[in-house]
Amino acid sequence: MSTMRDGWTETTLGEIITLEYGKPLKAENRDGKGFPVFGSAGEVGLHSEPLVNEAPVIVVGRKGTAGAVWWSDLPCSVIDTAYYVVQKIETDIRFLYFTMGFLDLPSLNAQTGVPGLNRDRAYSTQVLLPPPAEQKRIVDVVSYVDAYIDALQQQVDTARAARNAVLHELIVLPSKHRKKMEDFVFLKRGHDLPTQSRIDGEFPVIASNGTVGWHNERIGPIPGVITGRSGTIGKVLFATGGYWPLNTTLYVTEFMGNDERFAALTLETMRLERFAGGSTVPSLDRKVLRNELVFAPPIEEQKRIVEIVSSMDGVIQSTEQAVVDAKNLRSGLLSGLLSGEHEIPASYDSLLGAA
């Protein structure tokens, strides 16, 4: 070990922990109550008899989502696609969790077909270990940022729920001004475009799950409303400029005097995936939608509804950006603190005590 800043040591992950194999526990053998069950992708169920009885527990993906790091406040079961951590030397376990999440363990895959975390490579990963007091300070500071991120995300979730409730109230519930879909907008199937033609251009190429390239020609009116026909069925996209809709989509070619954004909101509320058919590859046939009744109030009311929902969307988008900014802050903070580049002064302890 080489000495770093006062009290810091350079060691390896294998000197601090062991990664222990989980045990098989098929979904049909889980009783659905009690303690969480973890796999490589996180919590996958509940079972009344935990494999690991001492909590908290750090779980690390072994196969599938290899190298992903998960936290459990409770005793838990860990299935055979994951490891659980056993400490060899006393370390603040939350500090250890932050450190392991920062180490980029997913890059240590043992095989290319089915990704698997190589334990030996993980054990040889270098780790900087500060003294216990500074471990705790780092945990405190990062935990405050995590709490802030969680609070912001809760605001996003609450705002989204409110938006959906408003949409339901304003567009789904009204019984007046109902029209058949064929009298509201005209939908057409998208068009083929070879992959090699999606490399360059001014206009986005839009598939059922979003933009997948760029092309120098456009199809459809400006602005445009597109929805997934196959693949990601029913996702509604709004294009402010020209675009090329692929054949995995349906797009509106005629709005029949209706507001374009109101049309997009209407398609969103219809949950179009309900209308998908096909036994092998489900898809959405525009003909099935022709006789569906939709709310089509006067254009002035359509614009008023769009304005209300747009203001809510603005709040959601700004809060989502705040989440992104906070996560970037967390990443930079972790980098500075775990590398020893930045120091939390010992006076932090007395400040925290006073608080």
Percent of the chain with pLDDT over 70: 95
pLDDT at 17: 97
Q: What is the pLDDT of residues 130-140, one digit of tens each?
A: 999 999 999 99
What count of other Cβ atoms lies within 10 Å of the Cβ of residue 354?
A: 6
In terms of residues, how long is the chain? 355
Task: Give the DSSP letter string of 58-86.
Answer: EEEE-BSSTT-EEEESS-BEE-TTEEEEE
For residue 223, the number of C-alpha atoms closer than 13 Å in the C-beta half-sphere is 12
DSSP states along 91-145: --HHHHHHHHHHTTGGGGBS-SSS-BB-HHHHHTSEEEE--HHHHHHHHHHHHHH
Q: What is the pLDDT of residue 348?
A: 66
202-223 core/surface letters (b: 16 or more CB in 10 A; e: else): ebbbbbbeeebbbbeebbbbeb
Do 2-129 and 175-296 fold alike per CATH? yes
Q: Looking at the domain 175-296, which fold is it?
A: Adenine-n6-DNA-methyltransferase TaqI; Chain A, domain 2 (3.90.220)
- Are the beta carbons of 299 and 187 closer than 8 angstroms? no
Q: Parse the chain into domains and list their residue ranges.
A: 2-129, 175-296
For the domain spanning 2-129, the CATH number is 3.90.220.20
Reply yes or no on whether the pLDDT at 345 is more than 90: no
Q: Across all residues in the chain, what is the average pLDDT?
A: 92
At 343 the pLDDT is 82
Amino acid at 171: I
Strand, helix or coil at 197? helix
Burial class for 176, CB neighbours closer than 10 Å (0-12, 13-18, 19+): exposed
pLDDT category of residue 355 using cuts at 50, 70 and 90: very low
Residues 143-147: contacts with CB under 8 Å, at least 24 apart: 143/94, 145/326, 145/329, 145/330, 145/333, 146/330
What is the pLDDT, as a whole number, of residue 1?
42
pLDDT tens by residue, 58-108: 999 999 899 999 999 999 999 999 999 999 999 999 999 999 999 989 888
Q: The tokens of 274 are what?
A: 């309900």
In the numeric block, the tokens 């009744």 are attached to 293
Q: What are the residue ranges of helices labelled H in the chain?
A: 13-16, 93-102, 119-123, 132-167, 260-269, 286-289, 299-338, 347-354
HSE at residue 262, side-chain half, CA atoms within 13 A, is 25
Q: Which pLDDT score is estimated for 110?
A: 60
Question: In the prediction, which pLDDT does 242 show?
Answer: 92
Rounded to 5°, the CA angle 91-51-39 comes to 85
Instruction: Check residue 107 and give its pLDDT.
Output: 86
How far from each other are the two terminal CA atoms of the chain, in whole angstroms?
A: 37
Question: 178 forms bridges with which residues in the sheet?
Answer: 295
pLDDT band at 350 (very low <50, low <70, confident <90, very high): low
Q: Is pLDDT of 335 > 70?
A: yes
pLDDT in tens, 154-190: 999 999 999 999 999 999 999 999 999 999 999 999 9
Q: What percent of the chain has pLDDT over 90?
A: 86
> ω before 223 within 30° of 0 (cis)?
yes
Average pLDDT over every residue of 10-25:
96
